[in-house]
Chain A
Amino acid sequence: MTEATPVAQKKPPTTMAAKKRQEAIAGYLFMAPALVIFLVFLIVPIAAAAYLSLTNWNGITPVFDEEAFSFVGLDNYSDLLRGYHTNEAGEVVKATTRQKDFFIALKNTTYYVLGVVPTQTILALILAVILNQRWLKAKGFFRTAFYFPSITSSVVISIIFMWMFTRGGLVNTTVQAILPNYESNNFVSWLDDPRGIIHILLEQFGVTRMTVGDWASNRVFGNTLWEWISGPSITMSTIMILNTWTTIGTMMVIFLASLQNIPGSVYEAAAIDGANAWQILRRITVPLLRPTTFFVVTLGLIGCFQVFDQVYVISSGGPAKTTYTIAYMVYLNGFDRSAMGLAAATAILLFAIIFTFTLLQRFIVKERANV
């Protein structure tokens, strides 16, 4: 980046200032296409989203019409988070459904993230560590096999999974072939079962809504505590399996690249000191991979919080709203239910959530690195 100065000194006729100006003009010209597109389709939209979230625009009336919308301040946010807002006359306007829906979406999305991100990170790490072994043959084959799903369209993957997980489909009949006790009248309806897996688990121990006690009926953010602890539904779990299955390959390739950057001498030194395989993995490989792990987890968080395509294609938020996610809610409110202002507010909240998690995660990784 410092190359220009000596050149300028060699050619006294053109002054340094003229050279610098020329370079600056070239710089802006080179940046121009990117800047214009970014400004119009990225920077302005972000600002517009923030502004629209403070209005009650329906998304249909042309936005520059005088009567298109009115400014409602933080009402949309208040509806979503508190379930009501106060109007100009000072009266409380209830918006219980909005709050309930938002927190259902938040709950579903959170279960989704908690299920997918750790699973895919750990599995990807395990596969990468195995693939990185010196003695292993056919590395290329395995890497290709693991990575291939990542290049496939999310819609195609969703279709393939829908087909495999239909009631009498590939998965159920294969399980039946392996476990004869798996009767066809008890097949799991992978794509149409709203029961939460924690609820199902509790039921095995005789804990149900009826027997669990009154505390479960308390409402927190519009939903009962019992609803909060449902766990992801069977259908949501299927979508979680799908996403884990798709992304393991990408994450593994990232881990593998950074494993290959660890010099062999580090391992040799450890081996001479008498460390066993587990100690090497625990004390050397994992700590050295911390920056990569941070990257993989952040990538996973950002992607998972926005889960949309699979939900749109497979379940449309159902059954019983158990796959209703925040991104899907944004789409539905904005383009289906003519509540564009509300949708913008939801999108901004989603952005805030993703941002917070990324910072939090960065902070935790730093803390642990310092210990």
Chain B
Amino acid sequence: MATAQPLPAPVDAERRSPLAVALTALSWTVLILFAALEIFPFVFTVANSFKCLPAVQTYPRSIIPVPPFGVECTYQDGERAGASRSPSETSGAATFNPTLEGYREILDANLPRWLVNTGFFAVAVTILRLAFDSLAGYALARLKFPGNRLLFFTILGTMMVPPIVLLIPRFIILKQFSMLNTYQGLIVPLAVDAFGIFLMKQFFESIPGEIEEAALVDGANRFVLFWRVVLPMATPALTALAIFSFQGTWNDFLMPLLILSGNKDLWTLPLGLSFLRGAYGETLRWHAFLAGSVITTLPLALIFFYFQRYFVEGISYSGLKG
């Protein structure tokens, strides 16, 4: 998509007025400024997650790691053993000695459990959505049945309902089913989503139906046809849907807060981090907190860089159809 055609149009080159030059310079300035604004908070977060707490508080702006690596944040022996080392011992205005203290602390705060939970929720929801959304999307796009249009518009309409409105009644229903504070309580309500159905329907309508018709004439059963013929053709749409579902569930805060608050063992990363903030009160252990933030972001960042094309295409797709 980012094909910048390498043709500096000769016409432009000839009449590069001072105004055009100024505009170009201004454009670059704006772009670089905003790129810096968007990226630097992450750079500082990563750098500070590897510092000792006093250094985070005194020298938050140093971002260049220098040896010795893996310094201890407290004195190991001598008469001051156990006391924190002063910030200037592990950091300066531009450089710092990296430590894993923050990561050690956040890992002790049950973070591995949250990480596993979050991964499990995200994968489970994603798999279910891929199955259910594509089935529903296919039916709405290709199969004629009474109420087809009505169902489609109802589903589309539910996208308008803010999650916060559903908060209370969903809580009640899950309570009735004894599904509060359980795995299934978080997974089942999210197993279908209107956006996914919409995406799949649009996709199925965009591909030709001849292959399916031919298979139908040969007497193939609808479900076998869907599984063997239709789904393999839908890989791009399924990939986009998988990425959005995974990202959405991984980052979701409201639903886990509502459903899982009561069971410590089921907390997700966002939930665990937010409760940790409450537990810390005013004196926040920033180095550990930032380490937790890095761990929470890293898996998504890797997926993002690998599948970037699908993120952008999926977003554009939903945008154009809106």
B38 contacts A by Cβ under 8 Å: yes
B301 and A49 within 8 A (CB): no
Binding stretch for chain A, among B69-77, B82-90, B142-150? B142-150
Chain A residues 141 to 189 lying within 8 A of chain B, measured CB to CB, are 141-149, 151-156, 159-164, 168-170, 173-174, 177
A156 and B296 within 8 A (CB): yes
Alpha-carbon gap, A326 to B247, bound state (A)? 26
Closest-CB distance, A220 to chain B (whole angstroms): 26
Chain B residues with CB below 8 A from A136, complex form: 4, 27, 31
Chain A residues with CB below 8 A from B120, complex form: none
Set B9, B41, B145, B320: member contacting A258, Cβ < 8 A? B320
Alpha-carbon gap, A347 to B171, bound state (A)? 14
Closest-CB distance, B14 to chain A (whole angstroms): 14
The contact string, 1 if C-beta is below 8 Å from chain A, for chain B 171-190, is 11101100000000000110
B2 contacts A by Cβ under 8 Å: yes
B34 and A153 within 8 A (CB): no
B165 and A49 within 8 A (CB): yes
The contact string, 1 if C-beta is below 8 Å from chain B, for chain A 39-50, is 011111110110
Alpha-carbon gap, A1 to B45, bound state (A)? 52
B270 and A153 within 8 A (CB): yes
Alpha-carbon gap, A95 to B37, bound state (A)? 46
Set A43, A170, A249: member contacting B61, Cβ < 8 A? A170
B304 contacts A by Cβ under 8 Å: yes
A350 contacts B by Cβ under 8 Å: yes
Chain A residues 261 to 313 lying within 8 A of chain B, measured CB to CB, are 261, 277, 291-292, 294-296, 298-299, 302, 305-306, 308-309, 312-313
The contact string, 1 if C-beta is below 8 Å from chain B, for chain A 1-29, is 10110010011000000001001111111
B145 and A143 within 8 A (CB): no
What's the tally of chain A residues with a CB closer than 8 Å to chain B? Answer: 114
A3 and B209 within 8 A (CB): yes
Closest-CB distance, B221 to chain A (whole angstroms): 9
B165 and A245 within 8 A (CB): no
A40 and B173 within 8 A (CB): yes
Alpha-carbon gap, A152 to B41, bound state (A)? 12
Closest-CB distance, A216 to chain B (whole angstroms): 33
Closest to B191 in A: A37
A63 and B316 within 8 A (CB): no
B68 contacts A by Cβ under 8 Å: no
Alpha-carbon gap, A188 to B292, bound state (A)? 27
The contact string, 1 if C-beta is below 8 Å from chain A, for chain B 1-18, is 110110111001000000
* A160-B45 in contact given A30-B139, A277-B23 (Cβ < 8 Å): yes
Set B8, B160, B192: member contacting A135, Cβ < 8 A? B8
Closest-CB distance, A32 to chain B (whole angstroms): 8
Alpha-carbon gap, A5 to B309, bound state (A)? 39
A170 and B189 within 8 A (CB): no
Residue from A45, A156, A160, A309 whose CB has the most chain B CB atoms within 10 Å = A156
A308 and B289 within 8 A (CB): no
Can you list 21 pairs linking A and B with CB atoms under 8 Å apart? A20-B144, A30-B226, A31-B139, A33-B136, A34-B197, A131-B31, A144-B305, A152-B300, A153-B250, A154-B251, A155-B269, A258-B316, A261-B320, A312-B257, A313-B277, A334-B168, A335-B171, A347-B162, A350-B164, A351-B165, A358-B160
* B positions within 8 Å CB-CB of A: 1-2, 4-5, 7-9, 12, 23-24, 27, 30-31, 34-35, 37-39, 41-42, 44-45, 48, 57, 60-61, 131-133, 135-136, 138-146, 148, 151, 155, 158, 160-173, 175-176, 188-189, 191-192, 197, 205, 209, 212-213, 216-217, 222-223, 226, 247, 250-251, 253-254, 257-258, 269-271, 273-274, 277, 284, 286, 289-290, 292-293, 296-297, 300-301, 304-305, 308, 311-312, 315-320, 322
